[in-house]
Amino acid sequence: MVEGVQQPYEIQFLPGIEEKSKTTTYCSVFPNPTSKEVTLKIEPWSPATFHYRISDLRGKFIEGHPVEYSEQLIPMESYSSGTYILTILEKNTILATYKIIKR
């Protein structure tokens, strides 16, 4: 009998540096892993405050955009299968960092 090799995947939240403020901002990213897109949800959300960056595991910048909606779709169909880092920024301060698995 020949045994196969299992390929585990990991969903991991990497906490970012949080700036102390009177309000707390919550971020969530789903689905993860994904094959097409992820949804970034930010509460409370305000225009022209948040943006996101996507980089590979080596830290190479891939793309970045402002967050235009409280639930922002981030397309990933054109990306190769692999692991990416999604960084959420609020006024140039890192709010949260996520490891995204692209199938």
Q: How confident is the model at residue 18 (pLDDT cuts 50, 70, 90)?
A: very low
Reported pTM: 0.77
More confident residue, 83 or 22: 83
> Distance between CA 8 and CA 18 in Å, rounded?
30
Q: And the tokens for 73?
A: 């779709």
Contact 87, 55 (CB under 8 A): yes
The whole-chain average pLDDT of the chain stands at 85
pLDDT score at 24:
84
DSSP 8-state class, residue 18: P
- In this structure, the number of other CB atoms found within 10 A of the CB of residue 71 comes to 12
In this prediction, residues 50-58 reach a mean pLDDT of: 96
In this prediction, residues 36-50 reach a mean pLDDT of: 91
Residues in Cβ contact with 17 at an 8 Å cutoff, skipping those fewer than 6 apart = 93, 94
pLDDT score at 92:
87
Fold classification of 12-102 is Immunoglobulin-like (2.60.40)
